[in-house]
Each structure stands twice: as C-alpha cells, then as structure tokens.
Amino acid sequence: MGVEGIGASVVRKEDRRFITGKGRYVDDIKLQGMTHAQFVRSPHAHAKVKSIDSSAAMKMPGVVGVLTGKQIVDDKIGNLICGWAITSKDGTPMKMGAWPAMAPETVRFVGQAVAVVIAETKNQARDAADAVIVNYEELPAAADIRAAIKPGAPQLHPEAPGNVIYDWTLGDEAAVKDAFGKAANVVSLELTNNRLVPNAMEPRAAIAEYNEAEEHFTLYTTSQNPHVARLVLSAFYNIAQEHKLRVIAPDVGGGFGSKIYIYPEEMVALWASKKVRRPVKWTGDRTEAFLTDAHGRDHISKAEMAFDKDNKILALRVKTHANLGAYMSLFSSAVPTYLYATLLSGQYNIPAIFAEIITVYTNTAPVDAYRGAGRPEASYLLERLMETAARQLKVDPAELRRKNFITQFPHQTPVIFAYDVGDFGASLDAAMKAIDYAGFAARKAKAKSEGKLRGIGVSCYIEACGIAPSKAVGSLGAGVGLWESAEVRVNPVGTIEVLTGSHSHGQGHETTFAQLIAERLGVPISQVQIVHGDTDKVQFGMGTYGSRSLAVGGSAIVKAMEKVEAKAKKIASHLLEASEGDIVIENGEFKVTGTDKSIALPMVALAAYTAHNLPDGMEPGLKETAFYDPTNFTFPAGSYICELEVDSGTGKTSFVNFVAADDFGRLINPMIVEGQVHGGLAQGIGQALLEGAIYDSSGQLVTASFMDYTMPRADDLPSFKLSHTTTLCPGNPLGVKGCGEAGAIGASAAVINAITDAIGHNKLEMPATPDRVWHAIHG
C-alpha cells in the first residue's frame, strides 16, 4: 500500500469545493433565457380531473405558458414505466397501470401534477400556479395496504382488479409445510415495516434546454444514473433519440435511491422546453419532495420459523404485503421480490423457505428502492424473529444465531442466492467483544437497581450488493443489464482521467477511484481526475445504487487499467529494448527486472502520443475502455449490537452503546467506508425510533414537512463504535463487497431488539417513539 493507494484513509479530493461553497448542484446553474416551472398538484388522493381553467393564470405577470396533462398525452410523450417484469404465481404478468407524466383524467395521490406553469421568475410561476383553477370530482381513496385489499375497496387502476399488482412466490412450499409438521418449536411474528421518506438534503431539480437548430436537448438533473435516465427518456418516454439528448448530473446532494428514477418533472421540463423554446428550470421544494419522491419500505408481514429440538432452524415461511403506492416506479417491482425474499435466509442455514409477496396499489406516492431496498425489510423481519425465538426457546440470542450460522462456503440458499464467502462468527465475536456482551447482565442489574430499564439487541445482517450479473438479472425480469463501464485515459504528460459510469452523490468516488489508479500506476491522486455524470463525456454507465460503485464500477476501472498497463508495457519494452515479459511497474516507473533500466509513466505516455517511436503496427495513444459484468452478487455481512436504556416514566430511549462489526471485503479508503456506515446506521436508527410517513384515511400525507416527519438530528444519535472483519470477495478483482447500505439494513432490528429486551415483551412496532414505548410498558 502506498500512502495514497488501497487501504489509505486519504482525505477526499472533492471536499474543497464543498467546504468553500463551490459545489455545483442543479439549482446553482443558470442558463441564458431560463424560465421557471411550477407544477399545479392535486390536493386530493383520488379524483377525476373535470376541467382545468388556466385563463386567469395566463394573464398573470411573467407567464410564458400553462401546459396540462392532456397536452402531454396528445404530444405522445410516453407513460412512466416499471423496468422489472414480475410474474404472479398464476403465471400472469404484473398489472401495470398507466402513469402519464401529468394526469389528464385521474389523479391517484396527493401531489400528483395535473399542469405546469412556465414563467419568467420562480415567484411569478408560483403566483400563476395558484391562479390555475382545477375542477376535481373526488373519489374514495385507499390510503394503506389494508384499505386497498378490503373487499369493495376503491379501485385505482382498471388493469389491476382488487388493487393487486402481483402475487408472487419464491421457494418450496411443500418442503416448508413438511418441515413445520416435524418441528419441535414454532415461532411466529407479525410486523410492519414502516414507510419512510428518503429525504436527501438536496431536493430534486431539473433544467432542460432545447436547441432548435440542432433538435437537441440537454437535461441537468439530480440523478444517480444519468445514462439510465437518458436511455429511459429516449427509449420509452419518446422525448428524443439518445444522440439528441445529453443528460448531466452534476454535484448531487444525496440520493439514497430516491434519485435513481426518472420522474415526471424531468419529462415535463424537457417537453416544455421545446414547447416554449426556452430553457426550463424546476427546483422542487421540501413539501414536493415529501409528496412526490419515491418513498421506501411499507410492508406488513407474517413470519413463522420452525426449529428442531436442538434449536436448529428447519424452515421459514413468510407472507408479505408490500405497498407500491399509486403507480409502479422504475424498479419498484424488484424491491419486495428479488431484493427482499431472496435475502430471507439471512446468515442462517435454513433448509426450506417459502415466501409469498403480494404488492398492492394505494392512493399514496409511489414506493421504490430506498437505501437497502428490500434487504432492510428482510433483515428486520428475520432478526426480530430470531430474537423472538431466542426468548421463546429461552436461549441466548447471540448463541441461537451462532448455532444456526452458515459456516461452509459457497452456500446455496433455498432462495436463489449462492453466498460466495463470509465469516459470520467472526463479526459476531467482534461486536460482542466491542460491547462487552458478557458483562451486560451485570450492567442490566445495576441499571435496574437505579430504576432504569436496560436492554441489549443483536442484529446479524447479510445483503446482496454489487448489482449484478446482467445475465442473472435478465433471467429474473430486469429490463436492463447491470454491468459498468470505465475509460482510463493517460494524457500525453502522464496525468490521468478516469471516466466512469458510476455516479458520486456523496460516496467519495473522486478519491476512492483515484486511489485505485495510485495503487497500480503510482500516480499521485492529485494527478488523477475522475469524470462522471455526463452522458456526453462518459460512454455509458448504469449508475450508482445497490452498493455497486466499487465492486462493479471500480472493477471496470481495474479492467481498463490492465489494458492500459499492457499497452504501456509494450511501449516501455520497445523504448528500453527489453523483453516485454521483463517489464514491471513500480511507483509509476516501468522497470526492466534485474537491471537499473527504467522509464517513467509520463515518458511512456509521451511516446504513445508523439508516436515517433512505437512498436511496428501499434496505434498511437494511451487510453483504454472496459465494460465489467460481475459474475455474482457480493454479500457484505456483519453484526450490530445496540445497548440502551428506556425511561419507563417517559418512554424515551437513550443509547448506551452501539457497535458495528462489518465484513466488506477489502477496504480501499477506510475513512470513507466508516462514513458510509455511520450514515447508514443513522437511517436505520431513524427508522427504528423516529421516522414514519403517515397518510390519513383520506390519503393526505400528514407528515409532509420536517416539522412533522422526524429526521434524525445530532442529539438523537450516539457516536458509533465500528470494527471490520475481512473475507475477500472472490467475485471481483478488488475483493470488495460494498458498504453503502449495510448500516440501514442492520441497525433497525438491533435497536428494536434492545428496546423489547428492556421492556420485557415483544409487542412493539417502528418507529418506537416515546409515546409507543410508554404504551408498550404501561399497556
């Protein structure tokens, strides 16, 4: 390891612009002649749009135009789609209802756009939007899962009778039934996985510019995957052909999944920019983010686990209803299926698993992947079930887990995945040691003597990341391949540009990816520029989600770098008059082994571009491209343990300690990895204690601001104690697994298990607010 290579906690290259106020986010960009868009949104959860009268708005100062849902449909702009096909157990395809970018006839959630006002200034657009008169005929709404599946419930889409999108199963139902028949003990649990709002701090925004002469669009947008946005806008939404559409995602202020999707606002901005022949900017406010960003989670589940007389797990049966909201967002169908049910084996050797997943439409915002996406729901369910089992079976929760750990790898679970490598006992040991698990009983007794309720909760998670082998996801219904691309350009003077299809919106790629170059080519990271987020610069890419940037995007960089090295060695051997096989690269020098002859990378690069003295037949230049398609998912795993106290008088919980022991494979920049874990833990703890999106029975979102939706703040959280255990991932050249989602996946069960331990019973749902905890204690 060099001082800047793999394993070095170097400070981030990108930080200087952010700490000096020189970041460049979408809303910071101004274009010549730019207009501003304000959407007219439905105040009703379910209604017919009878008429829209924009005559008064059109006369308001600065108004350039008012455009409606009918016009966007008339112009044949395509409906929004879900890109992952799921088939129900009866063999029928999922029931996708039509989702126009603005509603021409029917609105199905509060906040859905019906029209847009374009004006010279943002304030003028706002004023005029207030003057657009929309006549609605209200319809009854189904605002949650239970209301939507009741007989006689209001129907959202004619395509989906009973509001069911699909009823999908995974696993061997007969084997599970058989195992339950032989069980010595059965443990069951019903629980809710609360609905969350991602709330990246930068609200979504878009600027669209249409060049009439070139018939070309440019879109600046808050995206985690600009190439996917271009692909979908072009191939499905009929905005423009790919070569006539440039998508730029500049600095993006957090995503957590919510900026994967192509939203109606970007489509409307593009379409409107051609209509009004002016650039159109839309910047969402926080209320719009609450109402229209894709939400996360929202499951109701029943789970049962069968044990033999030695407390070994025999089988698991799960039935989950998942709320997908009013429309199917881009990857929504995959979240409760291939990102959830496939993880139900957890870290455990479970011979038989059967899961049934029923997804439903409701009159709420669309639900899609949010940090962890399906995996937090699986982990929460399984880890609450294991805790419940340990108490019912009267065994130590950590030891029940250890007894059932998978210890042999590779391990084929009964739910698709083949775990490649891991050491679950090692991470559990590390976490138990860090929190002094053995000493807990004494601490609990001491707390009790002081009138405090103290609890400890374990959570052992596993996730499938690095999404994914394209062939595998294709066979499971994905509409796209999930490889990544990279280009490594060595410039004539030896500086390097790396173009990547991954997108950084806080993850620190500009540093971590530069470290990969420093490690192999010995070039200081200050001499390396990471280029991302622009479809005109980067050839193609699938973007950043599913903790895939390093495992897939980083591997693509390694592959491209290997090609660069191979060519550079040929040039070096030619210049040094040595055999190619004798050339080694050390600290940026190409050396002839066993001699003192060497040539530095910049000289090799210069030779490649002057082309005065290259091997016969070699093309000039030194830049190479690679596409990397992984051979398997990666499987980060770890153990989290939370110790806390509950005040029985107020129901308030206070953290005593929170420890995390993760196995992410090789760490490139441990400082950045730990930062990712901290953030994930905060979101997992937020779900456990604070956060919950609540719709009332009429479909009004009553938690639509930071005044009403409790975001974790600094004084809600503890400092975390992190440690790492390591098994290298055999599936990629870096041995990495991904770290972006782990915290959010493992934390919530640890917290709830600790509270239920403290209060002495298991009837508690998230978020465990003081009110809920107090009632759980006092009945």
Partner 1 sequence: MSTVKLTVNGKAVSAEVEDRTLLVNLLRDHLNLTGTHVGCDTSQCGACVVHIDGRAVKSCTVLAGQASGSNVITIEGISKGDELHPMQAAFRDNHGLQCGYCTPGMIMSAIDIVNRYGGNLDEDTVRQELEGNICRCTGYHNIVKSVLDAAGRMNVAQAAE
Binder of partner 1 out of 678, 723, 728, 765 (CB under 8 A): 678
Extract the tokens encoding 302. Answer: 């029943």
Sites for partner 1 among residues 104-133 (CB under 8 A): 123
Q: How many residues bind partner 1 (CB under 8 A)?
A: 57
Q: What is the DSSP letter of 25?
A: B
Write the DSSP assignment of 306-369 as a string of letters: EE-TTS-EEEEEEEEEEE--SS--TTGGGTTTTTTGGGTTTTB--SEEEEEEEEE--SS--B--
Least separation in angstroms between residue 679's CB and partner 1 is: 5
In angstroms, the CA 59 to CA 428 distance is: 67
Least separation in angstroms between residue 722's CB and partner 1 is: 9
Least separation in angstroms between residue 188's CB and partner 1 is: 34
Sites for partner 1 among residues 467-506 (CB under 8 A): 505-506
Long-range CB pairs of 613-616 (<8 Å, 24+ gap) are 613/574, 613/575, 614/571, 614/574, 615/570, 615/571, 615/574
Binder of partner 1 out of 174, 213, 438, 714 (CB under 8 A): 714
Q: What type of residue is 370?
A: Y
Sites for partner 1 among residues 286-315 (CB under 8 A): 286-287
Give the nearer residue to partner 1 in terms of CB position, either 512 or 573: 512
Q: What is the DSSP letter of 98?
A: P
Is 7 a binding residue for partner 1 by CB under 8 A? The answer is no
Is 712 a binding residue for partner 1 by CB under 8 A? The answer is yes
Give the nearer residue to partner 1 in terms of CB position, either 171 or 692: 692
Give the nearer residue to partner 1 in terms of CB position, either 62 or 140: 62
Angle formed by the axes of helices 742-759 and 770-778, nearest 10°: 30
Is 347 a binding residue for partner 1 by CB under 8 A? The answer is no
Least separation in angstroms between residue 127's CB and partner 1 is: 10
Sites for partner 1 among residues 607-626 (CB under 8 A): none
Is 18 a binding residue for partner 1 by CB under 8 A? The answer is yes
In angstroms, the CA 116 to CA 346 distance is: 46
Span interacting with partner 1, options 12-20, 64-72, 374-382, 513-521, rule CB under 8 A = 12-20
Extract the tokens encoding 457. Answer: 């909760």
Q: What is the DSSP letter of 717?
A: -
The kind and range of the H/E element at 38 are strand 35-41
Least separation in angstroms between residue 718's CB and partner 1 is: 9
Binder of partner 1 out of 74, 285, 399, 771 (CB under 8 A): 285
Least separation in angstroms between residue 761's CB and partner 1 is: 29
Span interacting with partner 1, options 19-27, 387-395, 531-539, 635-643, rule CB under 8 A = 19-27
In angstroms, the CA 63 to CA 36 distance is: 9
Binder of partner 1 out of 140, 254, 474, 481 (CB under 8 A): 254
Is 3 a binding residue for partner 1 by CB under 8 A? The answer is no
Binder of partner 1 out of 499, 672, 736, 758 (CB under 8 A): 672
Length of the chain: 779
In angstroms, the CA 89 to CA 357 distance is: 10
Give the nearer residue to partner 1 in terms of CB position, either 9 or 92: 9
Least separation in angstroms between residue 13's CB and partner 1 is: 10
Residue 717's CB: how many other CB atoms inside 10 A?
A: 17
8 Å CB contact between 754 and 456: yes
Least separation in angstroms between residue 123's CB and partner 1 is: 7
Binder of partner 1 out of 711, 728, 730, 770 (CB under 8 A): 711
Least separation in angstroms between residue 459's CB and partner 1 is: 16
Sites for partner 1 among residues 517-576 (CB under 8 A): none
In angstroms, the CA 477 to CA 686 distance is: 32
Least separation in angstroms between residue 329's CB and partner 1 is: 20
C-alpha distance from residue 759 to each of 157, 641, 652, 688, 779 (Å): 44, 17, 12, 16, 11
In angstroms, the CA 632 to CA 416 distance is: 12
Chain residues in the site for partner 1 (CB under 8 A): 11-12, 14-25, 27-28, 123, 199-203, 251-254, 256, 285-287, 505-508, 671-672, 674-676, 678-683, 705-707, 711-715, 717, 719-720, 743
